[in-house]
Amino acid sequence: MPWLQSFPNPVHSMFKNFTDLNKEFFGFIQNKVDEHRETFDPEVTRDMSDAIIGVIDKADNDNGLTKGHTEGTVSDLIGAGLDTVSTALHWILLLLSKHPDMQTKLHELIDKVVGRDRLPSVEDRNSLTYLDAFIYETMRFTSFVPITIPHCTTSDVTIEGLHIPKDTVVFVNQWSINHDPLKWKDPHIFDPLRFLDKKGCLDKDITNNVMIFSAGKRRCIGNQIAKVEIFMFFAILLHQSRFEKRDNDDLSLNCSYGLTLKPLNYKITAKVRGNKTCETACPVKEKPIYK
Ligand code: HEM
């Protein structure tokens, strides 16, 4: 009944907010793509938008992609890659502050491998396996994408004796895979060392068991770039700062629930790390971080 639409309806207004936000986001992307098109140079790929313009706009495509797909592709990648990576970093900062002993070990390692005269780079990754182990354990322990995007079976299917009829909505419960006591020792304990072998190398068999990018044909296409992004942010933040909880603050692991699980608002202190001589000579600069 159309007259019912005059009554306040929280679902309706939520949906309207969602569509308005999407329109604003798409407008933002459209402007960025236009700016990139105006200054595009096929010899120089400045970022992901340039790469996509180069492949879709400027190439002779016989794959059905047209200029109109460029904005959609850029917005898919930014939409899928921003909130996920920033949520991972929120958890990493919280867990670093909660485990000062681990943070000290990470600082010692990064100072040994990178030193104080330059910033960490991707080339250091193989020597900083404890950082990657910390990232994998953050992904497993928090399982901040607890269930995947819903998909639908296109035909009847039987998996390990379980029959799933056509047109059934299917999710992967990533949280449960990451906390399965048959697969993980003490799954509720945060322990990055579970991913390192006796020589301190990442154990690929164990890291492959972390389920955060989903599985199958529609699994995340950005998983490699996400791991590099998180590694670089994490390594540079660690190299430059020490993160500490504030007095008597236990830093809750409770989260707010959405497509991703986010930590509740927390306050920590970031202390800028100088080089060794500076650290003893000058007082540590303290800067509270508010979220
Ligand atoms: C830690 C960071 C990330 C996590 C945990 C994550 C996780 C996921 C998950 C669970 C899915 C759903 C897969 C499914 O439908 O079953 C997905 C899809 C997707 N992700 Fe990521 N993602 C991350 C970062 C990124 C980044 C950085 C990009 C792009 C640069 C990206 C691009 C995509 C795209 C395009 C899809 C849709 C794939 C499709 O529908 O076929 N993701 N991601």
pLDDT along the chain (291 residues), means of 10: 76 87 92 94 92 83 80 91 96 97 97 96 97 98 96 94 96 96 97 97 97 94 96 98 91 92 96 62 42 39
Half-sphere exposure of 61 (CA within 13 A, CB side): 16
Return the residue whose CA atom lies nearest to atom 43 of ligand 1: 220
Overall number of domains in the chain: 1
Task: Dump pLDDT digits (tens) for 77-98.
Answer: 998 999 999 999 999 999 999 9
Q: Is residue 26 part of a domain?
A: no
Q: Is residue 122 part of a domain?
A: yes
Find the domain containing 202 and state its range: 99-146+174-289
Q: Is residue 23 part of a domain?
A: no
**Whether residue 189 has its Cβ less than 6 Å from ligand 1:** no
Distance 176 CA to ligand 1 centre (A): 19
Distance 275 CA to ligand 1 centre (A): 38
Is 220 annotated to bind ligand?
Answer: yes
Task: Report the chain's terminal Cα–Cα distance, integer Å.
Answer: 44
Contact 214, 114 (CB under 8 A): no
pTM for the whole thing? 0.88
What's the confidence (pLDDT) of residue 266? 95
Contact 195, 207 (CB under 8 A): yes
Rounded Cα–Cα distance for residues 250 and 267 (Å): 11
What's the confidence (pLDDT) of residue 67? 82
What's the confidence (pLDDT) of residue 275? 64
Q: How big is the chain by its Cα radius of gyration, in Å?
A: 23
Distance 78 CA to ligand 1 centre (A): 10
* Mutate-to-test residue for ligand 1 from 48, 74, 76, 84, highest number of ligand atoms within 8 A of CB: 84
CATH number of the domain bearing residue 236: 1.10.630.10
Reduced to 3 states, what is the DSSP secondary structure of residue 263? strand
Q: Is residue 139 part of a domain?
A: yes
Distance 223 CA to ligand 1 centre (A): 7
